[in-house]
């Protein structure tokens, strides 16, 4: 395990199963996470996220550093929550790291979560070490965010593979996508 001080990290846990929710919260406490808020489903998470950004003192959490969410919940599941965070105009922070947790880990689900902009994907059952590995991956290996007409989220490429020819992914001041504003 990594020796990172997590005492100033704040995590929102979104899980409808009270047992699994308490298990995740206890794992986070063992890892030393300083501030943990747990909610039952995505709709409660959305309301809490809005509250944190509108009035952090009232919410009891100054910021949200990471979201750990189950996929299958009702009425608002983890994918809808992720879509709201990454794409909705009312989302206060589209860059919040998101760890999707699910008992359904077939390749299509992993692909769908990645296509929606998840940072990490973890299957149930899990261990404290597995949870720590995913969290430390988000913290230690942050990925640049990509914005296209059909995708917003962390760069899905995990390997630095050399390309042939000009790397058109890098922005310069002359790039049409970059607007230079003079003070």
Residues with Cβ within 8 Å of residue 127, at least 6 apart in sequence: none
CATH of the domain at 53: 3.40.50.2300
Q: 154 pLDDT band (50/70/90 cuts)? A: confident
Give mean pLDDT, residues 131-142: 92
What is the predicted pLDDT for the residue at 181? 47
Q: Express each pLDDT in 100-117 by its tens digit.
A: 999 988 999 998 999 899
87 falls within a domain: yes
What is the predicted pLDDT for the residue at 173? 58
DSSP code for 13: E
Question: CA nearest 13: which of 58, 49, 60?
Answer: 49
98 has a pLDDT exceeding 60:
yes
82 falls within a domain: yes
Spatial strand order of the sheet with 98-102 comes to 35-39, 10-14, 66-70, 98-102, 120-123
Domains identified in the chain, total number? 1
| C-alpha–C-alpha distance, residues 150 and 66, integer Å | 23
User: pTM for the complete prediction?
Assistant: 0.82
Q: Is 165 exposed, middle or buried (0-12, 13-18, 19+ CB in 10 A)?
A: exposed
7 has a pLDDT exceeding 70:
yes
172 falls within a domain: no
Q: What is the residue range of 14's domain?
A: 10-154
């Amino acid at each position: 395990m990594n020796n990172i001080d997590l005492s100033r990290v704040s995590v929102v846990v979104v899980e409808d199963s009270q047992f699994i929710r308490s298990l995740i919260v206890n794992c986070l406490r063992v890892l030393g996470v300083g501030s943990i808020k747990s909610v039952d489903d995505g709709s409660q998470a959305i309301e809490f996220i809005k509250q944190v950004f509108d009035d952090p003192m009232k919410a009891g959490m100054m910021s949200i550093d990471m979201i750990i969410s189950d996929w299958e919940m009702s009425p608002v599941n983890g994918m809808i929550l992720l879509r709201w965070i990454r794409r909705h105009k009312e989302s206060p922070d589209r860059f919040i790291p998101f760890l999707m947790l699910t008992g359904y880990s077939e390749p299509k689900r992993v692909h769908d979560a990645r296509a929606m902009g998840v940072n990490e994907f973890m299957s149930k059952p899990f261990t404290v070490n597995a949870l720590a590995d995913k969290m430390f991956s988000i913290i230690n290996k942050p990925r640049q965010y990509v914005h296209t007409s059909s995708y917003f989220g962390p760069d899905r490429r995990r390997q630095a593979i050399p390309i042939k020819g000009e790397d058109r992914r890098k922005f310069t001041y002359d790039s049409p996508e970059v607007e230079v504003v003079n003070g």
